[in-house]
Amino acid sequence: MTSMDIHEILEHLPHRYPILLVDRVLEVVPGERIKALKNVSINEPFFPGHYPHHPVMPGVLIVEALAQAAAILSFKTLGGKPDDKSVYYFVGIDGARFKKPVSPGDQLILEVAIVANKRGIWKFAAKATVDGQLATEAELMCTVRSVE
Residues acting as catalytic residues: 50
3-state SS string for the chain = CEEECHHHHHHHCCCCCCCCCCCEEEEEECCCEEEEEEECCCCCCCCCCCCCCCCCCCHHHHHHHHHHHHHHHHHHHHCCCCCCCEEEEEEEEEEEEECCCCCCCCEEEEEEEEEEEECCEEEEEEEEEECCEEEEEEEEEEEEEECC
d(CA 13, CA 4): 12
Q: Which residues contact 80 (CB under 8 A, 6 or more apart)?
A: none
